[in-house]
Amino acid sequence: MRYALKVAYDGARYFGFARQPGLPTVEGELLKALKECKLCHDPAEARYQVAARTDRGVSAVGQVVALDVLKRPKISAINAHLPDDISVLLVTEVQPSFDPWRMALRKHYRYRCITPEGFDLRKARGAAKLLLGAHDFWSFCKHDQGKPTLGELEQVKISGKKILTFDFVAQAFLWQQVRRMVGALLAVGVGKLALEDFKLMLEQQIDHLPRPAPPEGLVLVQVKYRGISFGNQRNSKRYTNLLKRIKAKKSTYH
């Protein structure tokens, strides 16, 4: 049988989600816990797959992993072997062919930061509208060995006063795309980047760009799939405390 697990984590002390030899990662802790529970001794044999490989310092409340197991995973048993900054929230049975990465309909990322002095929300929102739709996001991502940089952004929203919240929704995102879009939008808002130059970044491949926003403000909120529901989350003390930590995370514009 194949099951999908919804996972939350505070990424502050990890070198990203994906396993790295000799370094603490979210995936490393999760696989260790699954092994302790006798659910996954060999990730390849269990067809272990993930929805997103978040970078160092990035958190999540809606990460999804999938694996083949002989019995339904028990959330409490897995969490008993996890540190308090990682938690399995929900489990649901899925089709044998389920791939959390390739079958994602849309992913929702949220970024929070302290509003920088002199920030013009109207200007930033004007720039954000330009991001909607299909574009070559070459200027808004870290390049990954010649991989295509075309993409389509379905939703973008900026809200808040003292604390800014940026919400992005798309089927898929490129490496560092959200943080680089936020960095550029903040630059427009404080007057360091003209709207015309921002537009040019979508039309041409430009190297001299605003720096990506710091990772600690970024959270993977949700990954949605057709015909798959995880149900309602039980508000355990463990989950509530972890959610508070993640919701409180924000960065400072630099």
What would the pLDDT profile of 135-145 be if each residue is shown by its tens digit? 999 999 988 77
Distance CA 204, CA 175 (A): 18
CA-closest candidate to residue 88, choices 252, 249, 236: 236
What would the pLDDT profile of 230-252 be if each residue is shown by its tens digit? 877 666 778 888 988 898 888 88
Distance CA 242, CA 233 (A): 13
Residue 200 has pLDDT above 80, yes or no: yes
Name the band, by pLDDT with cuts 50, 70 and 90, for residue 198: very high
What mean pLDDT is reported for the chain?
92
Distance CA 253, CA 116 (A): 6
CB neighbours (10 Å) of residue 235?
Answer: 9
Residue numbers annotated as active site: 55
What would the pLDDT profile of 70-121 be if each residue is shown by its tens digit? 888 999 999 999 999 999 999 999 999 999 999 999 999 999 999 999 999 9
Sequence-ordered alpha helix ranges (H) in 80-120: none
Which tops the pLDDT comparison, 42 or 220?
220
Q: What is the pLDDT of residue 210?
A: 81
What domains are defined for the chain?
Answer: 2-97 (3.30.70.580), 106-217 (3.30.70.660)
Q: Which residue has the tokens 């008993």?
A: 80
Q: What is the pLDDT of residue 233?
A: 67
Bridge partners (DSSP) listed for residue 251: 113
Residue 207 has pLDDT above 80, yes or no: no
What would the pLDDT profile of 165-192 be if each residue is shown by its tens digit? 999 999 999 999 999 999 999 999 999 9
CB neighbours (10 Å) of residue 120?
Answer: 12
How much is the average pLDDT of 16-26?
95
Bridge partners (DSSP) listed for residue 24: none
Give the SS3 label for residue 169: strand
CA-closest candidate to residue 187, choices 140, 250, 136: 140
